[in-house]
Amino acid sequence: MSTISAMLWVLMWPATGCSQSRVDHKIDGLTGVVFNYSDEVIAEVRVDGELAGTGYEAVRPGNVTGGGGSCCMALAPTLDTVPVEITPGIADPYTVQATIENPWPKGASTAIVHVLPGRRVVIETTLGIGIGPRSDLLNAQLEALGIVKEVDIDWMMIPERYQYSEYMERGR
């Protein structure tokens, strides 16, 4: 690389966005937070190959565990689904296609991975506020599977996805 090319690269680099990959347009530096609503002990959760969190106890229907943060992961806001690999405590890892809730809030900094009963996974992005387990996701999945709730802690959960005033445009 010539000196002029190197200088141009250094001058232009900030315009690329320090938290965005030029190749796949992923947002880097997201904090991963995992909530386990399932009856499986989970040793590790990886979103599109990136570590989102480790060590989650199994829970009875209606309960949840988790909430600790793990840094740093990358995720593309243009995706509607993404592979999530779950490593149970005493079984072989398995992969599911997780649904990503769109649109993303502008300036998203956190990816919340909701591991629901029946091996369903939903990913929610936030600005670092409104981080918590979601009763709407849990209750809908329990109903869809015909599972009776044994624990009712809805009052401790967020009732629905947090609403923001600005969202990212798709494809950017």
Residue 27 near residue 6 (C-beta atoms within 8 A): no
Q: What is the pLDDT of residues 102-146, one digit of tens each?
A: 989 999 999 999 999 999 999 999 998 779 999 999 999 999 999
**Edge-first strand listing for the sheet containing 120-126:** 50-56, 42-47, 81-88, 94-100, 120-126, 110-116, 27-36, 65-75
Dmax (CA) for the chain in angstroms is 68
Q: What is the pLDDT of residues 83-107, one digit of tens each?
A: 999 999 989 999 999 999 998 999 9
- Which residue reads 């998203």 in tokens? 108
Q: Which tokens hold the place of 27?
A: 């947002």
Q: Which tokens hold the place of 88?
A: 């149970």
Report the DSSP pairing between strands 27-36 and 65-75: antiparallel
Residue 137 near residue 114 (C-beta atoms within 8 A): yes
pTM of the model: 0.84
Query: Given 3-state DSSP classes, what are the helix, strand and coil percentages for the chain, each rounded to the nearest 5?
Result: 15, 40, 45
Q: What is the pLDDT of residues 48-85, one digit of tens each?
A: 999 999 999 999 999 999 988 888 899 999 899 999 99
- Which residue reads 């959760």 in tokens? 45
